[in-house]
Amino acid sequence: MPPGGAALTVRTDPGLPARFGLVFVGGAVGTLARYLLSLALPYDAAHPPGYAVLVANVLGSFLIGVLAAAPPRSDRLGAAEWRLLLGTGVLGGFTTYSAFTLDAFSAAVGYGDSATGWLVWFVLGQIVAGVAAALAGLAVGHALGRSRG
C-alpha cells in the first residue's frame, strides 16, 4: 500500500449495510441467471449429472479470474465494491457447490443410472475445469489490464 493509500481506502470503503446490499443484489442476479440456465438444462436426480451446474461453475470460474486480474474501474464504485457486487455477489450466486455435491455424492455411492465411473470423472473434471477456467480468466484479465494501461 503506497503512502496515503490507507487513508484513501478508508474513505472509499463502503459501510456494512452498503456491502450487504451489494452482495444481496449481486447474489440475487447471479442466482437468477443460474436458475434460468437450469430451466433450459433441468437436473434430474435419477439421471445425473447436472449440466447447467457444470456450465455455470466453469463459466463463473473463468469470469472470477478475469474480475480478479482486471477489476472494473469507475468513479461511483471503488474496487472493493465492484468485487463485492460482481465477485462475492453475482459470481458467488451464479456458481454453486450444493448442487455440485449431488453429483459428487452420486459418484461416491453409485446412485442413479449413470455409470458411476463416468460420474467420478464428471465431478473431478468439473473441479479441474473450474481451476483451468480461473487460470485462463486470470491470464485474460492480466492481458486486458496491460492493454488498458
Partner 1 sequence: MTWLWVALAGGVGAVLRYSLTLLHVRAGKTSRVATFVTNVIGAFAMALVVSIPGGIEQHPVLAAGLLGGFTTFSAASLDTAEDLREGRLVQGVVLPLAMVASAVVAFFLGLMVYGVLDALL
Residue ranges in 32-71 that form contacts with partner 1 under rule CB under 8 A = 32, 34-36, 38, 43, 45, 56-57, 60-61, 63-65, 68
What is the rounded CA–CA span in Å between residue 145 and residue 95?
Answer: 25
Name the residue type at position 136.
Answer: A
Q: Which is nearer to partner 1, 102 or 116 (CB)?
A: 102
77 touches partner 1 (CB under 8 A): no
Q: Which is nearer to partner 1, 1 or 3 (CB)?
A: 1
What is the rounded CA–CA span in Å between residue 66 and residue 72?
Answer: 10
Q: How far is the CB of 3 from partner 1 (least distance, A)?
A: 25
Cα dihedral 24, 29, 31, 36 in deg (nearest 10)? 160
Q: How far is the CB of 143 from partner 1 (least distance, A)?
A: 15
What is the rounded CA–CA span in Å between residue 37 and residue 56?
Answer: 8
Site size for partner 1, by CB under 8 A?
54
CB contact at 8 A, 118 and 125: no
Q: Which is nearer to partner 1, 7 or 39 (CB)?
A: 39
What is the rounded CA–CA span in Å between residue 60 and residue 115?
Answer: 27
The three-class DSSP label of residue 50 is coil
Interface with partner 1 (CB under 8 A): 19-20, 23-32, 34-36, 38, 43, 45, 56-57, 60-61, 63-65, 68, 84, 87-89, 91-102, 104-105, 108-109, 123, 127, 130-131, 133-135, 138
